[in-house]
Structure 1
Amino acid sequence: METKKEFDAVKMMRNIRQKHHEEYTLNPELREKKLAAIRQKYSNRIKTSKIYGKNQ
């Protein structure tokens, strides 16, 4: 199916996913390092006092 869009979000996400897959295949520890950096950066936004998704 060919489209005439100037911007194709699905194609962009596939390219990003493929790039990350190749990076993590070559260096498996890289994924954990990146996730740890994200957790540290956003740690103040993470709510630990409530359990989300549960009916209370």
Structure 2
Amino acid sequence: METKKQNQKKEPVRSAGGFDTVKTFRKIKDQISMDLKGMSFEEIKEYLKKESSKLRTG
């Protein structure tokens, strides 16, 4: 009986038109990369402090 469960194809969890995690995180990562481009190490540290504080307030 366990063999049948292992051989079954998994269906996507999200419904059609639902939230796409990979697409969203790729967009966020690309935005951060553009924001950090050309910054010094000290500027990056300040950027991260500022942006992370936005996540804590809510």
Shorter-chain TM-score range: 0.3 to 0.5
Q: Normalised by the size of structure 1, how large is the TM-score?
A: 0.45
State which structure, 1 or 2, has the greater radius of gyration over its C-alpha atoms.
Answer: 2
Greater percentage in helix: 2
